Structure 1
Amino acid sequence: MGFFIGHKVTGLSFLVYGFAWAIKHPLRFLGQKSNYSLQIEKFMHWFELVEWGGMAIVGFLGAVLEQCVPGGPFFNLYNETTHQWAALNVWQHSTMYMFFAMAGVVGFLTRCKFQIPVGLDHFMFSLALFNESMLIYTHANRMSALDKYSHHILLIPICSGAVCSLFEVWHRNNPILELFRTSMFITQGTWFWQLAFILFGPSRWDQSDPEIYVFTTLCYSWHYGSVMIFLAFTYGIIYWVLWMLNRRRGNGGEAMEIQKFNQADTKTYTALLNGSDEE
């Protein structure tokens, strides 16, 4: 992750999950009172299996690939020849991925009906985010002033998501907490992309400009504001789609009821006529 493509790939992983949650959580909330509630619940079960299983796989692959990239430590922690630590920054990234992999395994087993305490999945996910924040903080202390500042800004969505996920241990399926966690996850993904351009972009930002720190803070605010607009737009689209489907099914149900009533009325009228003929 310590290069341009690495930051973008890591950011893409957070963005994929954030975009998936932006659809999943409003769909579950709005679908509870729709005509498709049963189908949505079945879909959510399989979706969450893929969600947590994918987190386990991506986390494990990320931890291994970080070790095996060119210049990586290849699972060597200490160089006996030079008497120096071997690429501790890469070990930090691998550790971060492994915590997410463990959270993914617990979440997947929970959805497979194993005897696991309720809320342990969100607790492990919260621990993974807290661990990521600790690693990011120590990682940034070895950087220049602007790079350190931009990494410290990254701690805002990470720690906020960790606290939010910790609350979800006791308040599962809370739409407000889900919305906030989703916004923090997407913002973390977009800010990883921003870090890639700050650290390794073709035109590095001028660190001698004192106003650059003000602009960096503004940039983060614009990131988060854009994410909130995106979530509002996604919520509106899902609401409109479910409303149209409910209306279509409702009109179809009314038409069937009218047809059944007309058929019953016709049979009753025919029986009355037959009865009068027999008299």
Structure 2
Amino acid sequence: MGSFIGHAVPGTFFFFFGMWFTYRMFQRYFLCQATVAATGGGEKCRSRYQNISSFTCPGCPGLPLEGVLKIIAVVVGMTGEFATAFDEGKFTHIGNAQHMTMFFFFGLNGVMDVLTHYRIPVPPDMDYVSAILAFSMEALLFYYHLHGRSHMDVQVHMLLFYVVLACAVSTALEMCYKNNVLPALCRSYFTLLQGTWFYQIGFILYSPWGPTWDQEDHGQMMVVTMLFTWHNATIFVIMALAGSLIYLRVKAKGPAAMYHGLHGPLRMPKMDAEQIKNMIVDSEEEEV
């Protein structure tokens, strides 16, 4: 990761998965709430909403695409780190070994996602536990990754450490409070923040163009802190806009489409016969 590309690649993956989580979590939540309103299910039905750690692709619900993409990304990342770790035939870059270790834990999370999708008999919530473990190990390795670095280098990576730790905590809360969408949205938020901050670190420490930063200048270090707050604000606005657009899209759906969305790719629990009947009646009235 000691280059701009080395930070841009993981930043791209975290940003992509953060946007994916945001879209699917908002969609799942608003579909459930809209269906509750359409069926008059009340608070008892409202509790049917549940968080899940990974999502299938609407176009291929039978394939655990998210888990497969994680595994592929990890294989590519570990291969790149291993290939660049040698100097004159000797494995000398210990930093690469640390990065490979980080990748391994996220690959383990991808494997657990696949096993959970196919209902392989593993202990419950292992998909969540493996995600918490991956974020925790990433945070640990980053925390002890800074010996001998410049002050600005330590600063940007400590901010990244806090974000990764927040990813682990929000994932743990999501696992414990599965009927609450807020921890799930926090996981999306901090995953997005991790992605954009990886990019920012690349531009600060290994800028591909423009003047270089003075990594010992206090004034520029204050600018770095301000940039971090701007990243937080930008991601909050992005998620708010995404949530608003997804809400309007879900609201425009008919009740039958809501039911299909919940019990198809979103894998929500089945409704009782009276709720299904009410939904079908409402759908037929809309078509007339």
TM-score category by the smaller chain? 0.7 to 0.9
Contact (CA 8 Å) 2:151, 2:216: kept in 1 or not? no
Task: Give the residue type in structure 1 aligned to 2:61.
Answer: W
Find the counterpart in structure 1 of residue 274 from structure 2: none
How far does the alpha carbon of each residue in 1:218-252 deviate from its partner, in whole angstroms, 9 at most, with x for none?
Answer: 11011011001000000000001111223897997
Q: Structure 1 residue 134: deviation in Å?
A: 1.3
195-204 or 12-21, which deviates more: 195-204
Over the aligned positions, Cα root-mean-square deviation in angstroms equals 2.8
Q: Structure 1 residue 21: deviation in Å?
A: 0.7
Find the counterpart in structure 1 of residue 132 from structure 2: 126
Q: Please, what TM-score do these two structures have when normalized by structure 1?
A: 0.79
Aligned CA distance change for structure 1 residues 211 and 93 (closer, same or farther; 3 Å):
same
How many residue pairs are counted as aligned between the two chains? 245
Find the counterpart in structure 2 of residue 269 from structure 1: none
Equivalent residue in structure 1 for 2:196, among 182, 190, 193: 190
Find the counterpart in structure 1 of residue 71 from structure 2: 56
Contact (CA 8 Å) 1:154, 1:188: kept in 2 or not? yes
56-65 or 21-30, which deviates more: 56-65
Q: Structure 1 residue 22: deviation in Å?
A: 1.1
Aligned CA distance change for structure 1 residues 99 and 252 (closer, same or farther; 3 Å):
closer
Stretches of structure 2 that go unaligned for 5 or more consecutive residues are 40-54, 258-280
Equivalent residue in structure 2 for 1:116, among 109, 117, 122: 122
Q: Structure 1 residue 169: deviation in Å?
A: 2.7
Query: Is structure 2 residue 92 aligned with structure 1 residue 86?
Result: yes
Contact (CA 8 Å) 1:119, 1:170: kept in 2 or not? no
Find the counterpart in structure 2 of residue 270 from structure 1: none
Please list, as runs of the form range in 1=range in 2, the aligned pairs for 1:1-279 lying within 5 A after superposition. 1-34=1-34, 43=58, 46=61, 49-69=64-84, 72-73=85-86, 79=90, 86-172=92-178, 174-201=180-207, 202=209, 203-246=211-254, 253-254=284-285, 256=287
Q: Structure 1 residue 136: deviation in Å?
A: 1.2
**Higher relative CO (CA 8 A, sep ≥ 6), structure 1 or 2?**
2
Greater helix proportion: 1
154-163 or 247-256, which deviates more: 247-256
Higher-Rg structure is 1
Stretches of structure 1 that go unaligned for 5 or more consecutive residues are 80-84, 258-279
Identity among equivalent positions (%) equals: 26
Q: Please, what TM-score do these two structures have when normalized by structure 2?
A: 0.77
Aligned CA distance change for structure 1 residues 247 and 119 (closer, same or farther; 3 Å):
closer
